[in-house]
Every structure is written in C-alpha cells, then in structure tokens.
Structure 1
Amino acid sequence: MATPDAHLPYQVPIDGYARGAFHFAGMASAGSVLALPSGIHAWAPTTPAEIDSGALERVLAEAVRIELLLIGTGMDPWPLPDALRWRLRDAGISVDTLPTRAAASTYNVLLAEGRAVAAALLALP
C-alpha cells in the first residue's frame, strides 16, 4: 500500500539491517528509520549528533501510544543529552540508547510481547 509520506502504515518487527538499510515486512528501506505505532517511517538523522527534539517530533506526536523509545545510535553507544531525555520523559516516554543492532533486537522482543515500544534506528554503515 503506497502512502503519501512513503511509510509502511503499521508496526512490524525489523527483520534485518546492514549497509545502510533496514529490512521489514518483505521490504527494504535505505537509511535510518522510525518504528512507531503508526508504522515504519524514513528518518533523516545519520549520526547521533543529529538526534534532537526536532528529529523526534513524530515520536513526540505519538507519545500517548509509546511507553518506551529505543534509540539505535549506530555502531557505538551514545549518551542521550539530559534535555532530550527530560523532553521525552515529560511526554510520558521512557528512553534507552543502545547501538543499533541491540536496539533493533530489543525492539523486536518487546514488540512481540505486545509492549508499547518504538524505535529510532540510525542506519549502520
């Protein structure tokens, strides 16, 4: 089903990730992605330094449907700036940052358990 903003309009597990792409629901998406209750969306950031409240605007818009946001930070760990952590907490969202592989795996487990989880995943090189 095609959508105006080129996203998959429902939430699914991440089947794989490598070389700048994520695989899900028999499709592939180049670049970073947001996995939200509203579906899988392309996401502009390519480095942790680009992750700010503007980059997470769509996450914040869906806050009532998200308990936990997992941020996949690429190959390396990255400490979330306190201001952004508090912005998400004020919206009722707990957050954890992990390298992308760990974030995608954890997202899949929690999604399978029926948890209100979302993921913001930076593509791997």
Structure 2
Amino acid sequence: MKLHLDKSDQYNTIARYDATHVMVGTTRHESSVIVMPNRIEPDWHQGGFATLDEAAFEHLAGLGCEILILGTGMKQRFPHPSLMKSLMAARIGLEVMDLGSACRTYNILVAEHRTVAAALLFDPV
C-alpha cells in the first residue's frame, strides 16, 4: 500500500509497505527494521515474531523514545507480558499493531513531532 508522501526530508517516514518490506524514503528494507525520525536500525532482530526475547526488548528500551510501536507482520500478535519489563522500567509506552497500522501510526506521530520508534517485523515468506 502506498502512503501519502511527506515532502519533508527532515524526518524518516514510511512511504510504502507490504508483507515483505517497507520503503523509508527511497530505501527498501526487507528484514526487521527500527525506524525513528532521525535514524534507522536495519536488521535489529534476527528471526520473526516467535523468536522475540528479553534481549530484543532490552535493545528497544534503550532507543530513547517515549512511544514504541511494534509492527508484528500482517497479523497483530501480542508478546508475552514478561518480555515488556525493560520497556516498563524505561517508562516507554508500547503499542502493538499489524504492520500496516504500525506504519501509518508511526507517520502520524512523526508529523506530530513525537519521540517515536517503529520496530517492524515481517512475515516469513
């Protein structure tokens, strides 16, 4: 799905997505990626949703954002509550969404100048 293109090059926004990739600006990402307004972390997690562990969430807790959006592929799936301890300790709000909702919500929050990160996972092909 193509999203509305933000003409501003000031921040990273998601231009398009599908089950296998996202386009951040003109760069295509086909594996897990963290998108933040001022930086991108490709390949932040090896494996899919089922392999998320405490180490992955500890990394996410260190991003310095106020809101973390976890995009879990084409289906919304919730991580086990015990994995979220590091996010709660860092006082980071977590929203779990399917990939499309995560991309759209991230763009809206960036436009509002919020300190947000989108950690996006893709469904295995």
Q: Which category describes the TM-score, using the shorter chain as reference length?
A: 0.7 to 0.9
Q: Which residue of 2 aligns with 1:14?
A: 14
Q: Distance in 2 between matches of 1:28 and 1:22?
A: 6
Per the alignment, residue 122 of structure 1 pairs with 121
Q: How far has the Cα of 1:121 moved from its partner? A: 0.5
How many pairs align? 114
Per the TM alignment, residue 46 of structure 1 is displaced from its structure 2 partner at its CA by 4.0
1:107 aligns with 2:102: no
C-alpha deviations, 1:5-50, integer Å up to 9, x for none? Answer: xxxxx85011111252211121112212111355111133442112
User: Which stretch shifts more, 18-27 or 99-108?
Assistant: 18-27
| Residue matched to 1:82 | 81
Structure 1: state its 5+ residue gaps.
1-9
| TM-score for both structures, normalised by structure 2 | 0.79
Residues in 2 aligned to 1:39 and 1:56: alpha-carbon distance in whole angstroms: 18
Amino acid at match of 1:13: T
Q: Supply the AA of the counterpart residue of 1:15.
A: A
Unpaired segments ≥5 residues, structure 2: 1-9
* Alpha-carbon distance between aligned partners in 2 of 1:37 and 1:53, rounded to the nearest angstrom: 25
Q: What is residue 6 of structure 2 aligned with on the other side?
A: none
Percent of aligned pairs with the same amino acid? 31
Distance 1:11 1:84 in 2: 29
Larger mean CA deviation between 40-49 and 96-105 belongs to: 40-49
Question: What is the aligned-residue RMSD (CA, Å)?
Answer: 2.0
